[in-house]
Amino acid sequence: MADEELEEDLDDGVGESEDEGGEGEGGSGSGKKRLLIVIAAVLVLILGGAAAAYFTGLLQPVIDMLSGGQDAVAVEELDQQQVISGDAVFYDLQEMLVNINTGGRKAVYLKIRVSLELESGDDIVRIEEMMPRIVDNFQIYLRELRIEDLKGSAGMYRLREELLKRVSVAVAPAKVNDVLFKEMLVQ
Q: What is the 3-state secondary structure (H, E, C) of 6-34?
A: HHHHHHHHHHHHHHCCCCCCHHHHHHHHH
Task: Give the count of beta carbons closer than 10 Å to the beta carbon of residue 131.
Answer: 15
Which regions of the chain are under pLDDT 70?
A: 1-27, 68-86
Nearest-angstrom CA–CA distance, 89 and 118? 5
pTM for this entry: 0.53
Start and end residues for every CATH 3.30.479.30 domain found in the chain:
87-186
Residue type, 61: P
pLDDT reported for residue 7: 53
Is-contact 16 3, C-beta < 8 A? no
Topology of 87-186 in CATH?
A: Tetrahydropterin Synthase; Chain A (3.30.479)
What share of the chain has pLDDT > 70, as a percent? Answer: 75
Nearest-angstrom CA–CA distance, 102 and 184? 18
